[in-house]
Structure 1
């Protein structure tokens, strides 16, 4: 009996920090934001609860267009991050020697050693009119004058891919590392080409890692603020900028909260659709990584 009580106490002590973390830093703030989004201002310092903030959001085309644009761009970044990360993850998990795997993963971690702000300013130094790339193009005779490579969608996409690609590599390495090499050998022995083995064996096996990495990358990209604003400039048209504008510029916290909840619901819907299309479940993707 004493042993059972001791085990129960140990379990409670182990779970208490996690429960407090989830409750105080995730559940309560989100619940507060949801309640704030339902407040409608009817008079100075007088509020009523309703759906007015959401109705105003749905009636304004620019907000819906910005949300859809953010979703499309986030999906593009996710796809490009997958294309970049998959060969790297496969090499680390299946080709590289055991001693060099840790070093390769460490190299992938290097971009995370600095903040998003420093990484964004690094891209600005490279791509501005007087930056390294522009100067190199002029020195090689490929450009007659300064070349401005900032403040467009391509730059924003490149900056975001660079920022989030690690979060695609790690789940893929974790999944591919558990794959038996004999499966690939059997595919070649049965006459399959490299493309066939990749399509019929490697990709289906890596699907949980692909889905989990895509979910993480998509959510991080859709919720990004610094990179789109700094690299995209005034024409970035990113939905998080609309949220910032409501909170900070207009001091309309109720509307900003409604925008934030809308972004969360919309991105969650996109993730759910992706899970349905791929036949995966959270229990077999993110929860197992």
Structure 2
């Protein structure tokens, strides 16, 4: 009996910091944001509850157009990250020698040691008019003058794919590493081509990792702020910028909270739809043992 009580106490002490972190930094702030979004301001210290902030959002096309634009670019970033990350993850998990897998995996994680701000400025140094890429194009005679490669959607997508592709590779490597090579051998022995084996064996087995990676990269892309702002400049229309503008520039915390709630609801709905379309669940992807 004493051992059972000690085990329960150890379990409580082990999970208490995590539970407090979830409660204090995620649940309570979200409740506060939701409460604030339902406050209608009629004057100084004069508030009533209602849905006026949400109605104002849908009445202004620039707001919901920006949300939709953020969503589809985030989907594009997720797809590109999958196309680039899957071959890398497959090579690390199934092709590379065992003694080199750890080194390759570590090389994929090294960019995470650098902050998003430093990585974004690195792209600026490369792509600005006086940057390395522009200089190389001029040296090769491909352009007659400096070329500005920043402040457009293509640059934003490139920068964001570079930022999130690491979060696609990690779950894919973890999933593919558990696949027995005998499954691939059986597929080839039964007359399957490389494409058939990849489509009928590798993809279904890796689907939990694919879905988990897509969820993580999509949420990171949709909630990104520094990369689209720095690389997109004045031409950037990103929903997190709208949230920042409401909170910091206009001091309209009620609208900012509304935008934050809508972004959370929209991205959560997109994740739910993706899970439904792929036939997966959070238990079989993010929480897979």
The question of a shared fold, defined as TM-score above 0.5 by the shorter chain, is answered with yes
For residue 288 of structure 1, give the secondary structure of its aligned residue in structure 2.
coil
Q: Which runs of 5+ in 1 are unaligned?
A: none
Separation (CA, whole Å) in 1 of partners of 2:245 and 2:25: 24
| Residues 241-252 of structure 1 aligned to structure 2 (within 5 Å) | 241-252=241-252
User: Corresponding residue for 2:33?
Assistant: 33
For residue 20 of structure 2, give the secondary structure of its aligned residue in structure 1.
helix
1:128 has 2:128 as partner: yes
User: Corresponding residue for 2:184?
Assistant: 184
User: Corresponding residue for 1:219?
Assistant: 219
User: Corresponding residue for 1:195?
Assistant: 195
User: Corresponding residue for 1:5?
Assistant: 5
Alignment deviations for residues 140-168 of structure 1 (CA, whole Å, 9 cap, x no partner): 11111111100000000000000010100
For residue 218 of structure 1, give the secondary structure of its aligned residue in structure 2.
helix
Separation (CA, whole Å) in 2 of partners of 1:85 and 1:25: 31
1:109 has 2:113 as partner: no
Separation (CA, whole Å) in 2 of partners of 1:152 and 1:61: 22
Alignment deviations for residues 254-276 of structure 1 (CA, whole Å, 9 cap, x no partner): 10000000000000000000000
For residue 145 of structure 1, give the secondary structure of its aligned residue in structure 2.
coil
| Residues 83-162 of structure 1 aligned to structure 2 (within 5 Å) | 83-162=83-162
The alignment covers a number of residue pairs equal to 289
Separation (CA, whole Å) in 1 of partners of 2:145 and 2:152: 19
Separation (CA, whole Å) in 2 of partners of 1:163 and 1:23: 28
TM-score (norm 2): 0.98
For residue 48 of structure 1, give the secondary structure of its aligned residue in structure 2.
strand
Q: Offset of 1:7 from its aligned partner?
A: 1.8
1:63 has 2:27 as partner: no
Separation (CA, whole Å) in 2 of partners of 1:20 and 1:75: 33
Q: Offset of 1:3 from its aligned partner?
A: 2.1
User: Corresponding residue for 2:287?
Assistant: 287
Separation (CA, whole Å) in 2 of partners of 1:15 and 1:127: 46
User: Corresponding residue for 1:272?
Assistant: 272
Q: Offset of 1:17 from its aligned partner?
A: 1.0
Alignment deviations for residues 220-262 of structure 1 (CA, whole Å, 9 cap, x no partner): 0000000000000111100000001101110000100000000
Separation (CA, whole Å) in 2 of partners of 1:9 and 1:287: 24
Separation (CA, whole Å) in 2 of partners of 1:8 and 1:89: 39
Name whichever of 182-191 and 202-211 sits farther off.
182-191
Separation (CA, whole Å) in 2 of partners of 1:144 and 1:163: 32
Separation (CA, whole Å) in 1 of partners of 2:127 and 2:4: 63
User: Corresponding residue for 2:165?
Assistant: 165
For residue 266 of structure 2, give the secondary structure of its aligned residue in structure 1.
helix
Name whichever of 88-97 and 17-26 sits farther off.
17-26
Separation (CA, whole Å) in 2 of partners of 1:55 and 1:265: 16
Separation (CA, whole Å) in 2 of partners of 1:24 and 1:10: 22
Alignment deviations for residues 99-138 of structure 1 (CA, whole Å, 9 cap, x no partner): 1111101111121111111000000000001100000000
Separation (CA, whole Å) in 2 of partners of 1:245 and 1:108: 34
Separation (CA, whole Å) in 2 of partners of 1:49 and 1:111: 45
Separation (CA, whole Å) in 1 of partners of 2:16 and 2:110: 33
Separation (CA, whole Å) in 2 of partners of 1:104 and 1:49: 54
User: Corresponding residue for 2:238?
Assistant: 238
